[in-house]
Chains A and B, each alone.
Chain A
């Protein structure tokens, strides 16, 4: 394994070195869950077991680290590079600007990241030079990858293979597709089930509810949201992902939809967004794309949206 540290004295470099040492000794690592499913929890992962898994890759692959080595997603990338004996590029920190700087300096070929971080990188790529980095593989995980993100990645890196995955710390990798289309074919969920034998709703894995709600639309399952994220507007269930995707189609660069309490209807949809489109114009365009109950009652134009340490959109208002 070839390690490239953009800043060898950084805290990130130390954390990565610690995980590599654990891989070498096939030790266990103690990690924290991202907290998507509730309060972050301490978990233990056996690297000997992770290293027994067969992985495909080439020694010439150059991975950019974008996930914290204190999370399973980050450990997974490190273990992959260790096993395939390829190059791992470690930025000075996981901030978008440091990741971009490391991309320019060390020319990665592979990157795994959340769709939110991807949007953030594009947003911070002020000189639009990131496309000069020749990514061959872009893998989205940690959050659902909407079609707008896949289309943006395709436009910027036409030759890259685009993969999006569905995984959780508790269940590991659940499924992945690489056809550039949002959602997952039903065959990917064939081993799992929905309540009461239904075709959609909350996915159960090995009989355990995941808290993730899915909707079958055409020939694909699309992510609706976490149980606690779905917005109930006077009895109508609104998926934040659907509202955000509509905003992206209007030219918004980052978006976060969430519930705000309403004395009359229980909840209304609010949308925080980053982009140049004036709120009244965005509101008008969204009204053409969404059912009325899903249209944001409040729009807030911001300079940036907060991402968690796991690279996910912080969904609390």
Chain B
């Protein structure tokens, strides 16, 4: 089971890795929009999610998620933390 704070730390590092260091993990804020602010494309986003699914040991149900609403680091962390605790 992962806490929201843990997931945010993990996501920040995963986003930094996905951008090959263009963005540092330390510079990422929970309120940052993953695509609009941090510049990730859909492939980067999917890669970050895959890594986080593996790290949390969960599988997100794509049909139960409104992806348009999951636009910030914090919202994605909320989703993983909630799924991990359910």
Show the binding face of A for B, using Cβ within 8 Å.
Answer: 233-234, 260, 262-265, 268, 280, 283-284, 287, 292-293, 297-298
Given contacts A263-B60, A263-B62, A263-B65, contact A297 B46 (CB under 8 A): yes
Q: Which residues of B contact A283 (CB under 8 A)?
A: 17
Looking at A260, A268, A283, A297, the one whose CB has the most chain B CB atoms below 10 A away is A297
- A168 to B5, alpha carbons, bound, how many Å? 54
Min C-beta distance of B14 to chain A, whole Å: 10
Q: Is the CB of B51 within 8 A of A262?
A: no
Q: Residue among A260, A263, A287, A298 with the most chain B CB within 10 A?
A: A263
Closest to A299 in B: B51
**7 A-B contacts, Cβ less than 8 Å apart?**
A264-B42, A264-B67, A265-B42, A292-B43, A293-B43, A297-B47, A298-B47
What chain B residues lie within 8 Å of A298 (beta carbons)? 47, 50-51, 54
Does A262 contact B46, Cβ atoms closer than 8 Å?
Answer: yes
| Smallest Cβ-Cβ distance to A265: which chain B residue | B46
Give a binary string over B54-79; 1 marks a CB under 8 Å from any A CB, 0 the rest.
Answer: 10000011100101000000000000
- Across the interface, which residues of B come within 8 angstroms of A263, CB to CB? 46, 49, 60-62, 65, 67
A268 to B67, CA, bound (A): 17
Give A233 to B49 CA distance when docked, in angstroms: 15
Tell me the bound Cα distance from A232 to B11 in angstroms. Answer: 25
Q: A263-B67, A297-B46 are in contact. List 17 more A-B contacts (CB 8 A).
A: A233-B43, A234-B43, A262-B46, A262-B49, A263-B65, A264-B42, A264-B46, A264-B49, A264-B62, A265-B43, A265-B46, A268-B43, A268-B46, A268-B47, A292-B41, A292-B43, A298-B50
Point out the residues of chain A lying under 8 angstroms from B41, CB to CB.
Answer: 292
How many A-B residue pairs lie within 8 Å, measured between CB atoms?
44
Which 4 pairs show the lowest CB-CB distances between chains A and B?
A263-B62, A297-B47, A264-B46, A262-B46
Q: Quick one: closest A residue to B17, CB to CB?
A: A280
For the complex formed, measure the closest distance between the CB of A20 and the CB atoms of chain B, giving whole angstroms: 50
Total interface residues on B, using CB and 8 Å? 17
Closest to B51 in A: A298
CA distance A298 to B42 in the complex (A): 15
Which of B20, B50, B60, B65 is in CB contact (< 8 Å) with A268? B50
A260-B20 in contact (CB<8A): no
Within 8 A of A (CB), among B3-22: 17, 20
Q: Which residues of B contact A287 (CB under 8 A)?
A: 20
Report the minimum CB–CB distance from B42 to chain A (whole Å): 6
Q: Is the CB of A234 within 8 A of B51?
A: no
Q: Specify which chain B residues have a CB less than 8 angstroms from the CB of A297 in the assembled complex.
A: 43, 46-47, 50-51
Which chain A residue has the least Cβ–Cβ distance from B59? A261
Nearest residue, chain A, Cβ from B41: A292
**Complex: A260 Cα to B47 Cα, angstroms:** 11
Instruction: Judge whether A264 and B20 touch: CB under 8 Å.
Output: no
Q: A284-B20, A298-B50 are in contact. Are A234 and B42 (CB under 8 A)?
A: yes
Task: Give CA–CA (A280, B46) in the complex, Å.
Answer: 18
B67 to A: closest C-beta gap in Å = 7
B residues in contact with A262, CB < 8 Å: 46, 49-50
Min distance, Cβ B64 to any Cβ of chain A, angstroms: 10
What is the chain A residue whose CB lies nearest that of B67? Answer: A264
In the complex the two chains form, what is the Cα distance from A233 to B46 in whole Å? 10
User: Which residues of chain A are within 8 angstroms of B47 by Cβ–Cβ distance?
Assistant: 268, 297-298
Bound: A152/B46 CA distance, A: 35
Residues of A within 8 A of B51 (CB): 297-298
Q: Which of B49, B50, B62 has the most CB of A within 10 A?
A: B50
CA–CA, A234 and B42, complex, Å? 9
Whole-angstrom CA separation of A262 from B62 in the bound complex: 9
